[in-house]
Amino acid sequence: MVKAAARPIATPLIRRLQLFCIREVQAQLAVLRDQHLAEVRSQLSSLRGSNENLTRAWLAQEAELRVQRAAQEAMQQLISEVADHAGTKGPRPEQESSDLPRQLESLHSEFGATKARVDDTLKFLLDRVEFVRREVLFELQHGGSGIQAESQSVVPRIANPERVAAMATRGLRLNVGCGHIPLEDYINVDIRDLPGVDIVAEAGTIGVEPASVTEIFSSHLLEHFPQEALKRRILPHWSSLLREGGRLHAIVPDGDAMIRKCASGEYSFADFREVLFGGQDYQGDFHFNLFTPDSLSTMLGEAGYKDIVVLAQGRRNGQCFEFEISAMKS
């Protein structure tokens, strides 16, 4: 009688351990995701009633979506990485028994490294959500008082002279109307003395030397000015600050895209109305203008700018559609 060959036990054991690791990772990620999303929703749910464009519902929604996407992507990556070890690349049957401790140690090490990457990702996302929460709470706390409107006189003041002087040696880059979102590689300018603001000034009276700026960037600022104010004051002032060949780079709501989307029923009237007139949460949060890529290109050309390029249009950004435009000082 021929005896049947003994069935190796290592392969089924490793498969079960790998499946256990996959299920354990899925369970831990699901718990972490649910806990963090519940915390985010709890902290931000009370703030959505008083929405400010770019720092209210958009930031809350973006924060939630980023946590969801990160958790889902991390889970899929973990499943894929661990499942790879259950494929055909494993050891030969005669090696499995002797290699089992090594395989278990390797699997444990890989699991720990992957879990550490997931922990780092979740920590980054939670830190970002906490920053957004503090930012929105600050706006709610101080939005109705101590914040000056653009129409009021603001004496230009350099709040961070060391940083301005350091960047001036290679050419200033201004982020005008930065609000609560200062940019690291720019000198941040706002009429409000907020954290991260380097120069407190109105957009039409920035206190830096003429022809000392290589780039002026503004995001959702130009719509806060009437047409004639832009033509006669803001755009000429910015041109005087730019060096020859310096560039103006602006992002504004896209009136053409929003009107078309609203007319077709793809965009709610409530969102269109708020973007058109501003959040109106504080004195400076009122809109006086609306642009299309063609209308702003024409205005920039009339103000003496050249090499005008529309970099993006009809781009969805939270509650609004926006376009991005660049122009060079002539």
Position 120 scores a pLDDT of 81
Position 113 scores a pLDDT of 78
Residue position matching structure tokens 């129409």: 151
Q: What is the CATH number of the domain that holds 307?
A: 3.40.50.150
Phi, psi of 277 (to 5 degrees): -105, -5
Same domain, 176 and 119: no
Q: How far apart are CA 171 and CA 189, in angstroms?
A: 16
Same domain, 166 and 300: yes
Give the CA-trace dihedral at 180, 284, 49, 127, to 10 degrees: 0
Q: How far apart are CA 162 and CA 177, in angstroms?
A: 20
Same domain, 118 and 238: no
Same domain, 168 and 238: yes
Q: Are 8 and 96 spatial neighbours (Cβ–Cβ below 8 Å)?
A: yes
**Domain range holding 171?**
157-329
Among the three residues 90, 109, 142, which one is the final residue of a domain in this structure?
142
Domain assignment of residue 149, yes or no: no
Domain assignment of residue 49, yes or no: yes
Same domain, 196 and 113: no
For 38-45, which contacts have Cβ atoms below 8 Å and span 24 or more sequence positions?
Answer: 40/64, 40/67, 40/129, 43/129, 43/133, 44/132, 44/133, 44/136
Q: Are 320 and 276 spatial neighbours (Cβ–Cβ below 8 Å)?
A: no
Total domains in the chain come to: 2
pLDDT by residue, tens only, the chain of 330 residues: 444 444 444 455 566 666 666 666 666 666 666 666 666 566 555 554 444 544 555 555 666 666 666 666 666 666 665 555 555 444 455 555 556 677 667 777 777 777 788 888 888 887 777 767 666 665 565 454 433 334 457 889 999 999 999 999 999 999 999 998 999 999 999 999 999 999 999 999 998 999 999 999 999 999 999 999 999 999 999 999 999 999 999 999 999 999 999 999 999 999 999 999 988 876 777 899 999 999 999 999 999 999 999 999 999 999 899 999 999 998
Pairing relationship of beta strands 172-176 and 187-190 according to DSSP bridges:
parallel
Q: Which pair of structure tokens corresponds to residue 137?
A: 């709470």
Domain assignment of residue 197, yes or no: yes
Same domain, 293 and 163: yes
Domain assignment of residue 279, yes or no: yes
Instruction: Specify the pTM.
Output: 0.56
Same domain, 252 and 107: no
Q: How far apart are CA 220 and CA 206, in angstroms?
A: 18
Q: How far apart are CA 168 and CA 50, in angstroms?
A: 39
Same domain, 174 and 134: no
Position 144 scores a pLDDT of 46
